């Protein structure tokens, strides 16, 4: 009799634990953590640029940056559902956590730096002053970490502009 009760309670506890673990997972279309995308250019005054902070539910904040310090919040907005879903899919399919933290393709002067941060992982890509993301992306196969990094940036930019997901275009080809 006691064995039956113990078995019942163990099964019930296992069920409840599994239910709790499932609720801790973010729902599809929601980021697991805030995503921070920073684009800066190096010049005579140091680094200047823009930082976007995208909250898990899709609210974003755009800030101006000078020498890696936030100077002001310029705008606040909300991703459309398809934009947030696109960013979530691209982060997963392009394995953001597997991208190396440093990708330096530029000489050490007047670099154009892109930084992505989410949770415990961050990665940055430094390009030469006139080097564009699209030209750089074209040089690498889809599985390469530089191509994956640029695909994530393109997805965030598309979501910010309420444009179609660039991932959808590349997967149709």
Average pLDDT over residues 124-148: 91
- Residue at 16 is within a domain: no
- Residue at 89 is within a domain: yes
> Residue 142 sits in a domain of what CATH number?
3.30.1560
Name the helix (H) or strand (E) containing 82.
Answer: helix 81-93
- Residue at 22 is within a domain: no
* Number of domains observed in the structure of the chain: 1
Residue 19's pLDDT is what?
45
Helix axes 81-93, 145-160, angle to 10 degrees: 170
171 pLDDT more than 70: no
Average pLDDT of the chain? 84
Residue 167's pLDDT is what?
80
Q: Encode pLDDT of 17-54 as tens digits.
A: 444 444 444 466 799 999 999 999 988 878 899 999 99
Residue 169's pLDDT is what?
66
Which among 81, 86, 80, 88 has a CA at the least distance from the CA of 25? 88
Which domain covers residue 136, as residue numbers? Answer: 35-172
**In contact, 41 and 13? CB cutoff 8 Å:** no
Residues in Cβ contact with 5 at an 8 Å cutoff, skipping those fewer than 6 apart: none
How far is the C-alpha of 50 from the C-alpha of 134, rounded, in Å?
19
H helices of the chain, in order, are: 2-24, 81-93, 133-137, 145-160, 166-172
Q: Encode pLDDT of 141-150 as tens digits.
A: 989 999 999 9
- Residue at 17 is within a domain: no
- Residue at 12 is within a domain: no
133 pLDDT more than 50: yes
Contacts 24+ apart (CB under 8 A), 6-10: none
Q: pTM of this prediction?
A: 0.80
Instruction: At 151, list the tokens.
Output: 């695909």
Strands 102-104 and 121-127, by their bridges, are: parallel
- Residue at 121 is within a domain: yes
């Amino acid at each position: 009799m006691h064995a039956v009760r113990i078995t019942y309670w163990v099964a019930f506890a296992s069920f409840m634990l599994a239910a709790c673990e499932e609720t801790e997972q973010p729902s599809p279309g929601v980021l697991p953590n805030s995503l921070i995308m920073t684009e800066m250019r190096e010049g005579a005054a140091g680094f200047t640029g823009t930082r976007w902070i995208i909250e898990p539910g899709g609210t974003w904040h755009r800030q101006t940056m000078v020498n890696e310090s936030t100077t002001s919040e310029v705008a606040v907005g909300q991703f459309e559902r398809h934009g947030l879903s696109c960013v979530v899919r691209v982060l997963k399919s392009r394995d953001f956590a597997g991208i190396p933290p440093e990708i330096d393709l530029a000489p050490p002067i007047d670099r154009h730096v892109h930084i992505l941060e989410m949770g415990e992982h961050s990665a940055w890509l430094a390009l030469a002053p006139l080097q564009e993301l699209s030209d750089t992306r074209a040089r690498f196969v889809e599985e390469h970490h530089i191509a994956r990094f640029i695909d994530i940036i393109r997805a965030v930019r598309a979501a910010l502009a309420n444009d179609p997901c660039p991932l959808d275009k590349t997967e149709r080809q």
